[in-house]
Amino acid sequence: SQTIHQWPATLVQPVGSPLSLECTVEGTSNPNLYWYRQAAGRGLQLLFYSVGIGQISSEVPQNLSASRPQDRQFILSSKKLLLSDSGFYLCAWSGQGGTEAFFGQGTRLTVV
Amino acid sequence: RKEVEQDPGPFNVPEGATVAFNCTYSNSASQSFFWYRQDCRKEPKLLMSVYSSGNEDGRFTAQLNRASQYISLLIRDSKLSDSATYLCVVTYSAGNMLTFGGGTRLMVKP
């Protein structure tokens, strides 16, 4: 069966520090991968999605970036965090062709 | 206009009540539709897919109206454990883009 791992579960980082969140998927090949952010009490905002290795689409301008170095690995990064980067970051995967998405447990990031 | 819109609620209902949520989408080329449930401070989890003919899973019924571009979720005999935020999800572009609505919060009271 397929599983998705996302870590860390919580993170407190100072303003200006770098960020790296990792997500890996097991049990499937060539998944679509997604990074979402959810501010407190708000909906999910799509940050990045990827349909294959090295293929990243960005949905909103920001100081975040994403990379997909391997088929089932998706990384969210920042060189310098801002206070506004605080939120709940969720990684998800879906199969090709309009299938449902499955989420990792999320990373709660607080920038102080 | 947002691509996928939901009434944020909250919907406060007593146990045993029937409650319905709607979700409208703007892109007529939308292909697939889903309802997710999200508990407080947790990740969203798939509740059910929404098929063109409508589908039912226990107390939950989902329907799609392509002409009016909305999907609905009906919950019968509400339980306290149904309290959560319900997210509508629509896919476009051969299924590679999942777009979420802002969610509808449901609170079921004893």
Average the pLDDT over B92-101 and give the result.
73
Chain A residues with beta carbon closer than 8 angstroms to that of B91:
98
Instruction: Indicate which of B2, B3, B32, B43 best probes the interface with A, i.e. most A CBs within 10 Å of its own CB.
Output: B43
A55-66 confidence digits (pLDDT tens): 998 887 789 999
Q: With an 8 Å Cβ cutoff, is B29 touching chain A?
A: no
CB contact (8 A) between residue A49 and residue B97:
yes
Q: How far is A96 from chain B (nearest CA, A)?
A: 6
B2-31 confidence digits (pLDDT tens): 789 999 999 999 999 999 999 999 988 878
Residue holding tokens 């049990």?
A27
Q: Show Cβ contacts of residue A47 under 8 Å, excluding neighbours closer than 6 positions.
A: A35, A36, A37, A58, A59, A60, A62, A64, A66, A76
The residues that bridge with A32 in the sheet, in sequence order, are A94
What's the pLDDT at A73?
Answer: 96
Instruction: Indicate which of A3, A38, A100, A102 best probes the interface with B, i.e. most B CBs within 10 Å of its own CB.
Output: A100
CB contact (8 A) between residue A98 and residue B99:
no
HSE (side-chain half, CA atoms, 13 Å) at A92: 29
Confidence bin at A42 (pLDDT 50/70/90): confident
Average the pLDDT over A22-27 and give the result.
95
Across chain B, mean pLDDT equals 91
Confidence bin at B96 (pLDDT 50/70/90): low
The residues that bridge with A90 in the sheet, in sequence order, are A36
| Rounded distance between C-alpha atoms, residue A9 and residue A2, angstroms | 20
Average the pLDDT over A10-26 and give the result.
96
A91-108 confidence digits (pLDDT tens): 999 987 768 899 999 999
Lowest mean pLDDT segment, chosen from A68-72, A88-92, B8-12, B95-99: B95-99
Return the percentage of chain A with pLDDT > 90, whole number.
Answer: 75
Q: How far is B88 from chain A (nearest CA, A)?
A: 10
| Rounded distance between C-alpha atoms, residue B9 and residue B102, angstroms | 10
Average the pLDDT over A2-8 and give the result.
91
Chain B residues with beta carbon closer than 8 angstroms to that of A92:
98
Closest CA to B18 of B84, B80, B75, B79: B75
Closest CA to A71 of A14, A35, A30, A109: A30
What's the pLDDT at A96?
Answer: 77
